[in-house]
Structure 1
């Protein structure tokens, strides 16, 4: 399982950074989290394939997190003869944004898509929400490639249950920002234990179909009538991996409901600690805020992203009078310690290791 950062800038793309876009790759599929302006260009620079994207999660509807979506959908159409729909998850209004963009540009896709919208709570709305009337309703007539999706409401615990296929479970939680924003928790199902080939051979089990049955937890019967239980050759199951991807936020406290003990927390750190008041005013977080949350959740690795343009990337030599992302890294490390924090750069990839038993 690999996480690739296609964009790590806040607000707008620069020559050295794209805006928010993260891709989770596992086996033969990719899930994308946010799709800011220019994300398809970043995707083309990476080893990732557009046609492998099967799900897209949009944290909120600010442009630096969704303006690249219509173009990406057209790019996927050009590069892949897919048969399965692309599923999208995001706040109420995402369906209308994508449908109108595709309809006005008369964009016909080579595949179907489904938009599942997350019901927005009153507590997520900014104080001036009613002063800027927004009609989230989309015309009942679907785009030619659109299939009807769900409107997902939070459960009794205030958690949005987005997707569960028995292999992965994806949940959403509300974040505080200037528009409704969400964070996503991706939890992998427990993985089978390691198969002990030598133990299998010592029991006289021939390689082949019996190995597959034992690996899947089934007992087998050998030709001489001996019954072998899977537990004799397969170790205990291993916990699945757990990843948290937060959208823009000045308060991520709701993630404690779904995020304790996560392997990775991806969190914004737009401005340094000294600019805390400005951060909160704009609905963003500082490195210390992200690190304190990671500490509270006891996550294995904190990865910071969504940096203001005032901070030069780590890979660039900051000139005198310029600030580097290194300042943000050090501020988070002051809370968590060295080795527990990474500041992502565009095209940076992080492999999420399998958990030990």
Structure 2
């Protein structure tokens, strides 16, 4: 898995930075990716990143401010005109269905694949679950309804104790796979081999928190708790905390405190105000690192690898 930052600017595009979007490439066996927010020009960013719209499986929108959604109608329409027929699910705050349906209606646009829109309301909760991942949403503290997302991968089976299996006379083959799945196995002589006796503890899955626009709040910390990677807006530098609060945003230091308090592993700062140029990013990154050393400032097309946790 890897996360590709497609847009790291706040409010409007800046030179070298597009507005908010990020793509999460799923495990190879799925062959798909998920999109988080879709600011204007996101489909152009996907083209530059070499990511194919037909591989897009889900879109998660944090809130309905234009710099996070104005790319949606065009992207959805392009996916249809390209002949993509795979279903697509869109998750977002209440109102996103009405906005899209109105836009499609008055522009005469058509989507020919199955598009499911799932609106999120209130306290959020589990918004998606499959055999590999659970996605949870929670409301943040912004000027309009805004959600953050926590993507949790299910644990992987622990390591088989091959030496113990050989000692017990378990033949290699289907019984090994059965035990690996956590199922007890019965040998030909009638002995029952308990999976708990020959399989190590489960290996925790990866956790990514992708937060929308917000001032510091408890919900952000809960979503980021123990995460391998937290993507957090840092619209302003630390000295502009008052301005950040006025507009419903966070500073570099505030984002870092959220990651620190959540005991996260890494923090990726994004959503930078247009007042900052690329040469300012090392300074903004340094401010966050004073609070949380494992902080980095994102740039457009940055790829962040998300390796599996290791077996112990």
Q: Does 1:58 align with 2:56?
A: no
TM-aligned CA distance change 1:207 to 1:312, over 3 Å: farther
Q: 3-state DSSP class of the match of 1:37? A: coil
- TM-score, scaled relative to structure 1: 0.79
1:230 is matched with which residue?
195
Provide the C-alpha distance between the structure 2 equivalents of 1:45 and 1:208, rounded to a whole number of angstroms: 45
Q: 3-state DSSP class of the match of 1:255? A: helix
Conservation of the 8 A alpha-carbon contact between 2:216 and 2:258: no
1:331 is matched with which residue?
287
Deviations 1:235-272 (A, max 9, x none): 21012222111111123322334432222111001111
Gaps of 5+ in 2: none
2:25 is matched with which residue?
25
Q: 3-state DSSP class of the match of 1:311? A: coil
Gaps of 5+ in 1: 120-152, 319-323
Q: 3-state DSSP class of the match of 1:235? A: coil
Deviations 1:116-160 (A, max 9, x none): 1122xxxxxxxxxxxxxxxxxxxxxxxxxxxxxxxxx43xxxx53
Which of 178, 193, 214 matches 1:213?
178
Provide the C-alpha distance between the structure 2 equivalents of 1:56 and 1:193, rounded to a whole number of angstroms: 32
Which of 299, 304, 309 matches 1:345?
299
Deviations 1:22-53 (A, max 9, x none): 11222223211100001011111114332222
TM-aligned CA distance change 1:238 to 1:15, over 3 Å: same
2:7 is matched with which residue?
7
Q: Does 1:355 align with 2:274?
A: no
Which of 273, 280, 292 matches 2:238?
273
Provide the C-alpha distance between the structure 2 equivalents of 1:298 and 1:231, rounded to a whole number of angstroms: 30
1:95 is matched with which residue?
97
Q: 3-state DSSP class of the match of 2:301? A: coil
1:291 is matched with which residue?
256
Q: 3-state DSSP class of the match of 2:155? A: coil
Deviations 1:59-82 (A, max 9, x none): 111111001111111232244543
Alpha-carbon RMSD across the aligned residues, in angstroms, is 2.2
Provide the C-alpha distance between the structure 1 equivalents of 2:271 and 2:55, rounded to a whole number of angstroms: 25
Conservation of the 8 A alpha-carbon contact between 2:216 and 2:255: no
TM-aligned CA distance change 1:206 to 1:103, over 3 Å: farther
Q: 3-state DSSP class of the match of 2:224? A: coil
Q: Does 1:301 align with 2:303?
A: no
Conservation of the 8 A alpha-carbon contact between 2:179 and 2:199: yes
Provide the C-alpha distance between the structure 1 equivalents of 2:159 and 2:14, rounded to a whole number of angstroms: 46
Q: 3-state DSSP class of the match of 1:346? A: coil
TM-aligned CA distance change 1:196 to 1:351, over 3 Å: farther
Provide the C-alpha distance between the structure 1 equivalents of 2:225 and 2:214, rounded to a whole number of angstroms: 18
1:161 is matched with which residue?
126
Question: C-alpha displacement at 1:207, in angstroms?
Answer: 4.8
Provide the C-alpha distance between the structure 2 equivalents of 1:186 and 1:7, rounded to a whole number of angstroms: 20
Question: C-alpha displacement at 1:9, in angstroms?
Answer: 0.9
Q: Does 1:41 align with 2:44?
A: yes
1:182 is matched with which residue?
147
Which of 226, 231, 240 matches 1:261?
226
Q: Does 1:245 align with 2:179?
A: no
Q: 3-state DSSP class of the match of 2:253? A: helix
Q: 3-state DSSP class of the match of 1:10? A: coil
Conservation of the 8 A alpha-carbon contact between 2:57 and 2:89: yes
TM-aligned CA distance change 1:218 to 1:271, over 3 Å: same
